[in-house]
Amino acid sequence: MRGNRLYKTFINIGGALILGLLLSFFITLFINSLPSIKKYGFDFITSKIWDPVFEKFGAFPFIIGTLLTSFISLIISIPFSISVSLFVAEYYENTFFSRIFETLVDLLAGIPSVIYGLWGFFYIVPIVSNIQIKLSISPTGVSIFTASLVLSIMIIPYASSIAKEVIKLVPNDLKEAGYSLGATRYEVIKNIIFPYAKSGIFAGILLSLGRAIGETMAVTMVIGNSIQLPKNIFQPGNTIASIIANEFTEAVGELHLSSLIELGLILFLITLIINLFANLIIKRHGFEI
């Protein structure tokens, strides 16, 4: 790198900052989780009880809730994400129509999550409530399913924007070759574009997952905030992010607070790993997002 000493030093501060940031996040979370780690050890992850009165804390219901909502929302969102990316990058590539559409999808990504929560609370909850009545379940409206629905809409833009970029990168001559052999559009997509773009699409999906796992506000307003393990997806549940938001300012005992921070640590590590994975895949395919 060129430049004089002063410049280099100045720049290196920037680097140190980035390095220091993630590291110090981890250290802070870890140190403050110690009381809880020491007391519960590994059982923290498997224990189902969250009892502030008798000071027994276990993360299991929240881990399950987080995993359930994230994966269900992912599954729901995938067909939409892929459709959006194909729509914009293939079928209507470079048309006025698709540019407007892209703008609208960006809008979807820009809506603050607390507003998604509002919308979910007033519009989706009554719909799910009706479904619950038909299934003869307690018509709370709020449930794991409700949260998954709202989440699925929120995470669509994350996967679709990456998938769209990858799909655009598929070399035209490959596609032309397919068409010249008489393939239909569908066949080109299925046999040429998808195999070529599949790891990029996968990375995009991973990023969606990462977002879903960490989402707080929208989830906490529609999930029901139950501390029991839900028996099915139409029952209320809770996620790690949601319970931290609910109880953090009010945790009265040191152990309670430490347990919440330990939950935060777990969340931090999970999203870290998922994002790392996604990034490595993208890097391997030589394009940046």
Partner 1 sequence: MIRKILSIIWFFLITITKLNAGVELTGAGATFPYPLYSKMFDEYYKTYGIKVNYQSIGSGGGIRQLKEKTVDFGASDAFLSDEQLKEFDGEILHIPTCLGAVVITYNLDLPQKIRFTSDLIADIYLGKITKWNDGRIRKVNPGLNLPDLPITVVRRADGSGTTFVFTDYLSKVSSEWKEKVGRGTSVNWPVGIGGKGNEGVSGLVKQTKGAIGYVEFTYALQNKLPYGIIKNKSGNFIEPTVESISEAGNVKLPEDMRISITNTESKKGYPISAFTYILVYSDLSKANDKMDYEKAKTLANLLWWITHEGQKYTKSLDYALLSKEAQKNAEKLLKKLNFNGKMLLK
Partner 2 sequence: MKILKDRLFKFMVIFFALLILLPLFSIIFMIFKNGFSVINLEFLTTLPKPPGETGGGVLNGIVGTLLLVFFASLIAIPLGLIAGIFLYEYREKKIGEVLTTFVDISQGIPSIVVGIISYLWIVKRMGHFSLISGSFALSLIFLPIVAKSTKETLKMIPVYIIEASLSLGVSYPRTILKVVLPSSIGGILSGILLGISRISGETAPLLFTAFGNPFLNFNILKPVSSLPHLIFVYAISPYDNWRKYAWGCSLILVIFVSLMSFLNKLLLKKWKIKF
Question: Can residue 81 be called a binding residue for partner 1 (CB under 8 A)?
Answer: no
Which of 68, 72, 147, 267 forms a contact with partner 2 (CB under 8 A)?
267
Query: Residues with Cβ < 8 Å from 197, sequence gap 6 or more?
Result: 163, 166, 167, 169, 170
Q: Choose from partner 2, partner 1, none: what does 96 bind? Cβ within 5-8 Å by kind.
A: none
Applying the rule CB under 8 A, the residues between 95 and 124 that interact with partner 1 are: 121
Are residues 178 and 188 in contact, defined by beta-carbon separation less than 8 angstroms? yes
From the list 9-17, 36-44, 131-139, 222-230, the region that binds partner 2 by CB under 8 A is: 9-17
Rg (CA), the chain: 22
Task: Report the C-alpha gap between 105 and 114 in whole angstroms.
Answer: 18
> C-beta of 186: minimal distance to partner 1 in Å?
44
How many residues bind partner 1, per CB under 8 A? 33
Question: Can residue 10 be called a binding residue for partner 2 (CB under 8 A)?
Answer: yes
* Helical H segments across 56-136, by residue range: 60-86, 96-110, 113-119, 125-134
Question: Can residue 79 be called a binding residue for partner 2 (CB under 8 A)?
Answer: yes
Residue type, 214: G
Which of 142, 192, 207, 227 forms a contact with partner 2 (CB under 8 A)?
207
Which of 28, 94, 95, 232 forms a contact with partner 2 (CB under 8 A)?
28
Task: Report the C-alpha gap between 119 and 108 in whole angstroms.
Answer: 13
Are residues 148 and 69 in contact, defined by beta-carbon separation less than 8 angstroms? yes
Instruction: Outline where DSSP puts E strands in the chain.
Output: 50-51, 56-57
From the list 50-58, 61-69, 166-174, 207-215, the region that binds partner 1 by CB under 8 A is: 50-58
Q: Choose from partner 2, partner 1, none: what does 25 bind? Cβ within 5-8 Å by kind.
A: partner 2
